[in-house]
Amino acid sequence: PSWLVCLRTNLSLFFPQILLCFSAVKSFSSPAAPLISSASRRSQATAAPRHSTMSNNIAMEEEDGFGAKKLFNQGFSYTYDDVIFLPHYIDFPTDAVSLSTKLSRNIPLSIPCVSSPMDTVTESHMAAAMAALGGIGIVHYNTTPSAQAAFIRSVKSRRVPIQSSPIIFSPDSRIVNEFDDPAVPCVLVTESGKPNSKLVGYVARSDWSGEKQGAKLSDYMRPADESLVVPSNYDLDKLDSHLKQQERERDFAVLAEEGGVVDVVTKEDVEKVKGYPKLGKGTVSSDGSWMVGAAIGTRDSDKERLELLVKAGVDVVVLDSSQGNSIYQIEMIKYVKRTYPQLDVIGGNVVTMSQAQNLIAAGVDGLRVGMGSGSICTTQEVCAVGRGQATAVYKVASVASQSGVPVIADGGIQYSGQIVKALVLGASTVMMGGFLAGSTEAPGQYGMHQDGTRVKKYRGMGSLEAMSKGSDQRYLGDKSKLKIAQGVVGAMPDKGSVLEFIPYTMQAVKQGFQDLGASSLPSAHELLRSQTLRLEVRTGAAINEGGVHSLHSFVKKSF
């Protein structure tokens, strides 16, 4: 029929042009493929003759993944597990990867690790260990200002990541059951029975017997001689040498400074630390002491707390809030920078570019990113506010980098691959809570779970239990009569010492950087910005395939 002939004629005339327009729009919206240079593309274009056939019009250029800018601008909130990096080109060994970075504008670190200011994660022992490793610890403020300042002084006064909490009595005291704990090597005796007092003697475990239980310590204690006490700034090698010289007398030494007793270190403690991966210089300030940070709130009372912390020697402060974009935090940032201009202040928490811009304008030296991503946090569930951590880190870092403000990716870290993702997406450091909870250095005593696992308590600072101690200020709820939990109380299995598992974790991170062709954090950030590094979103099946699967049973050991 004539109408069919007419239709055929029109389609043959216009269909190729329609397809050509569609193809042009598609290629305009797609980013360049990552591993082919623009020059190569031009040479390929010149080498291949253009044809006007329909098959060439519908042929589209294949490419691997997406650039970060395109991926994170589609309106989805991605977590670390949602995305995966595609491998790049390797031209250097793993040992050539440098993880040195900055916590804030003026605080350099050898490794990008920060312990979270939680009362079941960071006190003096954890902070000392993190500094020894080349990272830094941020001491929580869910305690009195004087107690928090004491934690800071404890870190600043020692050079070994060992802490024993020595038992100290006065000469008139009597030992009851202190030696029931096999970890106690001795009982120290000072003039007042307190650490900040002159050491006068000690009772070693080997000297103790049950019949002495009712007698005063002054009746049978050994006097404190010069060989018992060593300066608190002795490093591990000096302590080891001293203990070997005193081996016949005793297997412990007392660390002391002018103000009194700092700690007791045993030969067993030193041998254990020597058995871990070798420690470097650590994170030290200009006076040679370990660097340590502290968290504070945004109330007027925190100004007095800050004064005590500065006197104790704190190196950086973190304004601790679940939602940092507030008038309270902005005013506190300005107060800190005005009153203590040499002190770095880290603001947060934030998850959006506009939040970050407000705090940068106020004068922060670093930004803490994350809202509701922690394993014990329920903020997103309770308040319907937050953001997937991968998206949050990328977005905030894209703004902060323009002002030279380092970003701390806070929360959501369960294993080394997530650290790689956080750092490559723009973070300078990762802040860890659950990853470090349950370790030897975390506060608290070990207990036994009903299934026989050795555990330590780990609780969110938004849990009702923690808020009853004062952390409700972090959620701007300290003045509310009705307390709403934004966290839970749980337990973590014994993970051993951070001095052992953090070095292995950092080695895994280096291998991840090598696979991406990034020899440092700055080079990783540049590869991301230039769209050389490509990403894809993973399906549930892909996430499952990327882990251990299809086995009857297995034992998973990281190192």
Query: Residues with catalytic annotation?
Result: 377, 474
Q: What CA–CA distance (Å, rounded) separates 330 from 523?
A: 32
| Radius of gyration of the chain, Cα coordinates, nearest whole angstrom | 29
**What sign has the CA pseudo-torsion 304, 308, 311, 317?**
negative
C-alpha of 85 from chain center: 21
Which residue ranges make up the annotated binding site?
320-322, 370-372, 374, 377
Output the six-digit token pair for 461: 């600072």
Helix (H) or strand (E) segment spanning residue 425: none
What proportions of the chain, in percent to the nearest 5, are helix, strand and coil? 40, 20, 45
- For 241-294, the DSSP string reads HHHHHTTTT-SEEEEEETTEEEEEEEHHHHHHHHTSSPP-S-SB-TTSPBP-EE
Three-state SS for 14?
helix
CA geometry: angle 181, 460, 433, nearest 5 deg: 75
Query: Residue 200's closest CA among 180, 179, 181, 173?
Result: 173
User: What are the structure tokens assigned to 150, written together?
Assistant: 């004491």
Q: Binding site residues for NAD(+), as ranges?
A: 320-322, 370-372
Q: Which residue has the tokens 């701007």?
A: 476
Q: Element (H or E) spanning 156, and its range?
A: helix 145-156
DSSP letter string, 441-497: TSSS--EE-TTS-EEEEEE-TTSHHHHTTTGGGGGT-TT-SS----B-EEEEE--B-
* Binding-site entries for K(+): 372, 374, 377
- Measured CA to CA, the distance from residue 104 to residue 400 in angstroms comes to 11
Distance CA 268, CA 266 (A): 5
CA-based angle 414:419:424, to the nearest 5? Answer: 150
Instruction: Count CB atoms within 10 A of the CB of residue 318.
Output: 29
Structure tokens at 368: 């803490």
Residues 6+ apart with CB under 8 A from 491: 438, 447, 449, 455, 456, 457, 458
